[in-house]
Structure 1
Amino acid sequence: MEQYCVKKVYEKIRGDREKVEWRKLIWSNYGAPKWLFILYLALNRRLSTKDRMAKWGVTSNLTWSLCQVEDEDIDHLFFACMFIAGIWKKLLAWQGIQRTGGKWHEEIQWATTHMKNNTNKAKVYRMVLAGTIYHVWIERNNRIF
């Protein structure tokens, strides 16, 4: 008879699903739980942005209320908008990261590649990323509602 192991039971129940590459951004993050929840939704592209609401027939005005330049989607909302990109650039400089921020998918790809370890720099980056996403989302909601 084989010895009982919780890990083996969990793996059997879980199945052979692939782990997402951005999992470290959520599960190894010391940010506030509400930050992590919004980051999780953003990573899964489940935030109710105006482009998603337009597909549901809820709204017809797609313009991002902060810059009034482009339509609101997750790519523009996070890091492509000139205002948010400026803030993100300053936050990267504050952390001592010498790079320019990219678009949403580029930033997440960079983070999953370079900030997956447990150094203090990586921990701070993950918290700043989650906090930035959360506060941009809250500001967006405050402007709309």
Structure 2
Amino acid sequence: MREFIKDGQWDEDTLRNTTKDLVQLFRKLLIAGGEDSVQWITPFGFNAAWEAARLRNLEVEWVGLCWNRGRPRWSMHSVLVIHKAILSLDFLQKRGVALANRCYLCYTDGETLDHMFCDCDNTWQVWSFLFEVCGWTLQRVHGITDLIEQFTQHFQRQTTKKMARMIFTTSLYFLWWKRNNRLHDKCVREAKELAKCIF
């Protein structure tokens, strides 16, 4: 806080270089004498503190693509995939778990999220089938970010918005489900069969 105070007053030059929400929060605080004490102009409450401190209007482009009202599990799974927080084999290896790293969808490459949901041949067949059924064009993607960009194009149009959301969340969830079936139950399901389950 000392960087923002000069001669017992708020330093306007420093505040100008700070975000607008933070400046409004600081202006509500009174500078009192003594060691780092804070006095609120309005009655203090946790709700007021949260509202004053939280960041607003930082919506990412994919937020509407993920949140499907009908299936919160699928939506949450999509968010975890985007944040690369799914327990894939490479994720577990980075945390010290000793496992052989191979993709259980194609059995050829190591299992990373980008490979499993974008680069894997079985996954590519699923995406190709779904895009073809919708009449959309699909360009080869090489990561989750590229995949989000492809879906965001269709999410912008009002006519395809619900379809893009449904296909995105459902596909990510069922691809992960297919991977887990192959890993744990040794159950093999072909890509076209899975794509028909999704659609």
| TM-score (structure 1 length as normaliser) | 0.82
Letter in 2 for 1:137: W
Match of 2:137 in 1: 98
CA distance in 2, matches of 1:22, 1:80: 20
Letter in 2 for 1:89: S
Match of 1:110 in 2: 150
CA distance in 2, matches of 1:124, 1:31: 13
Superposed displacement of residue 139, structure 1: 1.2
Aligned: 1:12 with 2:52? yes
Q: Is the 8 A contact 2:105 2:116 kept in 1?
A: no
Match of 1:4 in 2: none
CA distance in 2, matches of 1:51, 1:40: 18
Of Structure 1 and Structure 2, which has the larger fraction of its residues in strand?
Answer: 2
Which one has more relative contact order, counting CA pairs under 8 Å at least 6 apart? Answer: 1
Could you list the runs of 5+ residues in structure 2 that have no partner in the other structure?
1-48, 185-199
Pairing 1:1-145 to 2, within 5 Å after superposition: 12-16=52-56, 18-27=58-67, 29-103=68-142, 104-112=144-152, 114-117=153-156, 119-145=158-184
Q: Is the 8 A contact 1:65 1:144 kept in 2?
A: yes
Q: Is the 8 A contact 1:42 1:74 kept in 2?
A: yes
Superposed displacement of residue 30, structure 1: 4.4
Q: Is the 8 A contact 1:88 1:101 kept in 2?
A: no
Q: Is the 8 A contact 1:35 1:130 kept in 2?
A: yes
Q: Percent identity?
A: 27
Could you list the runs of 5+ residues in structure 1 that have no partner in the other structure?
1-8
Q: Evaluate the alpha carbon distance shift between residue 57 and residue 17 of structure 1 in structure 2; reply closer, same or farther with a 3 A threshold.
A: farther
| TM-score (structure 2 length as normaliser) | 0.61
Deviations 1:44-101 (A, max 9, x none): 1100010000011223211011211100001000021001101110100111102234
- Across the aligned residues of Structure 1 and Structure 2, the Cα RMSD in angstroms comes to 2.3
Superposed displacement of residue 110, structure 1: 2.6
Between stretches 10-19 and 43-52, larger displacement belongs to 10-19
The number of residue pairs the alignment matches comes to: 136
Superposed displacement of residue 17, structure 1: 6.8
Superposed displacement of residue 134, structure 1: 0.1
